[in-house]
Amino acid sequence: MDLTNKTVVALGDSVTRGFDGTVNLRYNYPRYLEKYYNCNVYNNGINGATIYETLEKEIEKIKDKKYDIIILMIGTNDYGHLDVPLVRIISKLTKLMRQLISDHHEAKIYAVLPLTRFDEDKNAAEIVRYSDYTFNQLLDGLTQVYSAFQIPLIDWREYHSEFITDFNYKDMYQDQHVHPNAYTYRKLAFYIGDFIRNN
Residue 161's region, left for phi above 0, alpha for psi from -120 to 50, else beta, is: alpha
**Which residues make beta-bridge pairs with 118?**
123
Cα–Cα distance for residue pair 154/34, rounded to 1 Å: 19
The domains found in the chain, sorted by start residue, are 7-198 (3.40.50.1110)
What is residue 173's DSSP assignment? B
pLDDT of residue 35: 97
Residue 89's region, left for phi above 0, alpha for psi from -120 to 50, else beta, is: alpha
Mean pLDDT of all residues belonging to the chain: 98
CB 78 within 8 A of CB 39: no
User: What 3-state class would DSSP assign to 80?
Assistant: helix
Q: C-alpha 12: how far from its chain's center? A: 6
Cα–Cα distance for residue pair 52/186, rounded to 1 Å: 28
pLDDT of residue 38: 98
54-57: long-range pairs with CB below 8 Å, 24+: 54/13, 55/11, 55/92, 55/93, 55/96, 56/92, 56/96
Give pLDDT < 70 ranges for the chain.
Answer: none
pLDDT digits (tens, 9 = 90+) for 21-32: 999 999 999 999
Q: What whole-number percentage of the chain has pLDDT above 70? A: 100
CB 10 within 8 A of CB 42: yes
**Which residues make beta-bridge pairs with 41?**
8
pLDDT digits (tens, 9 = 90+) for 103-130: 999 999 999 999 999 999 999 999 999 9
Q: What whole-number percentage of the chain has pLDDT above 90? A: 100
CB 91 within 8 A of CB 118: no
